[in-house]
Amino acid sequence: MSVPRDFSLLLDELREEVAQAGNDQKKIVDSLKVLHSLAGDCVIEAAHLCELKCVTKCVGATGRQIYEVSGPNKGYSTLYKLYPRINYCVCSVFQKKVVTRRQQLTVS
Ligand SMILES: [Zn+2]
């Protein structure tokens, strides 16, 4: 499932709002609420993974970025690599809820 262009534009706008919010927690929370209304509970799950420090942004020498996401259980060794602007994940939740059942637009 590809992300509709309008949805991508909204995400870009929200990303810009958060970047400009700096340390203004209210603005960040307001942007996350908008994102939650668009994408659903996977936003809460994603924020939780960020709080648990399971997400690492990796920037290569060329400036190319990927995000590595590990499971919240430190003993769980699976590490997922996510590419910005590509709505795809190899995890079983993505395969089940997005690809097969088409219940969600994306997952955390
Ligand atoms: Zn996934």
Q: Which of 75, 80, 107 is nearest to 94 (CA)?
A: 107
Phi, psi dihedrals of residue 13, rounded to the nearest 5°: -65, -45
Q: What is the pLDDT of residues 41-74, one digit of tens each?
A: 888 988 898 899 999 999 999 999 999 998 777 6
Is 106 a member of any domain? no
Cβ–Cβ < 8 Å for 33, 44: no
Is 75 a member of any domain? yes
Distance 79 CA to ligand 1 centre (A): 10
Is 105 a member of any domain? no
For residue 29 the two structure tokens come to 């929370």
Cα gap 25→75, rounded to integer Å: 32
Structural domain including 35 reads 5-100
Q: What is the pLDDT of residues 5-37, one digit of tens each?
A: 777 788 888 889 988 999 999 999 999 999 899
pLDDT band at residue 3, thresholds of 50, 70 and 90? low
Number of folded domains that form the chain: 1
Distance 20 CA to ligand 1 centre (A): 28
Distance 33 CA to ligand 1 centre (A): 21
Distance 30 CA to ligand 1 centre (A): 25
Distance 94 CA to ligand 1 centre (A): 5
Cβ–Cβ < 8 Å for 72, 49: yes
